[in-house]
Amino acid sequence: MKSARTPLIAIATILGLIAALGLFVLPRMQSHDAPCATHEFEGSRFTVCTYDARRQDMQLFSRASGGGYLRSFDALQRQLGADASRVRFAMNAGMFNDTGAPIGLYVEDGDEQKSISLTDGPGNFHLKPNGVFWQGQDGALHIEISEDYARAERQARWATQSGPLLLINGSLHPRIADDGTSRLVRNGVGLRDQHTAYFVISSGFVSFGRFARFFRDELHCRDALFLDGTVSSVWAPSVGRYDDNHDLGPMVVVLDRR
């Protein structure tokens, strides 16, 4: 009677020989959990960090528990305590004044700490239309023109206002040039759908136009919001990046779910 092991040994031997000859490659398990990745687009490099609202948790931080404002990832780490080990990435998340306080709408876990701003003024924040990135109590993600958000009296769990909008329903902001002369390190957020947000930071100086096209043409977002430039910073353990800017305002943090 033949041993039942003989066919198995023969099969294993044949597969080993085929693999050695390069004729067969065992399929690799691809990780879908890498938080951040690098993309090349129109000669520029971008770091893209993905937030999936179905699988991860998002929080916004501004004030320190002991008073004042956090202003840096070092301070954010101290604020998080043991939860710092769950950080997938963190990024600056909206414009602020000299003290680090948000200048537009800011909602932290349902607590509206700064009301929405609909005034006109100088700078990128007031390059209308500007907008609000927010998450509802149901977990759905939104990017909305500021006036529309205010008119509808939304009930956000997390929200930050900034400007300008980069993409509005698939079209570039009407006042953004294709490749203007203003070149800065920039960061922003775009939505693929109501549960997927891409937080993006450029690795070098880029124009508003190229930055907006990256969201539209590379990431296939229909709506995207500029968060800031110059101070743009990211803490992304998966790619070994930890920017040490100490002049930040509000910050967004995405954490592994417990």
pLDDT at 10: 46
Q: Tell me which residue range forms the domain holding 158.
A: 35-256
pLDDT tens, residue by residue, 24-81: 333 333 345 799 999 999 999 999 999 999 999 999 999 999 899 999 999 999 999 9
Residue 4 domain-assigned?
A: no
Residue 29 domain-assigned?
A: no
Mean pLDDT of 137-162: 97
Q: What is the pTM of this model?
A: 0.87
Residue from 79, 134, 122, 81 nearest 248 by CA: 79
Residue 2 domain-assigned?
A: no
Residue 13 domain-assigned?
A: no
- pLDDT band for position 22 (50/70/90)? very low
Q: Could you give the angle at the alpha carbon of 229 between the alpha carbons of 226 and 231, nearest 5°?
A: 130
> How far is Cα 190 from Cα 67, in angstroms, rounded to an integer?
31
pLDDT at 33: 75
pLDDT at 32: 54
Q: How large is the greatest C-alpha to C-alpha distance in the chain, in angstroms?
A: 90
Find out whether the peptide bond into 129 is cis, omega within 30 degrees of 0: yes
**Mean of per-residue pLDDT scores for the chain:** 90
Residue 23 domain-assigned?
A: no
Residue 209 domain-assigned?
A: yes
Residue 19 domain-assigned?
A: no
pLDDT at 25: 34
- Give the number of domains in the chain: 1
Give percent of the chain above pLDDT 70. 88
Strand order in the sheet with 56-61: 56-61, 251-256, 87-92, 234-236, 241-242
Worst-scoring range by mean pLDDT, 131-140, 174-183, 194-203, 207-216?
Answer: 174-183
Mean pLDDT of 178-185: 94
Residue 9 domain-assigned?
A: no
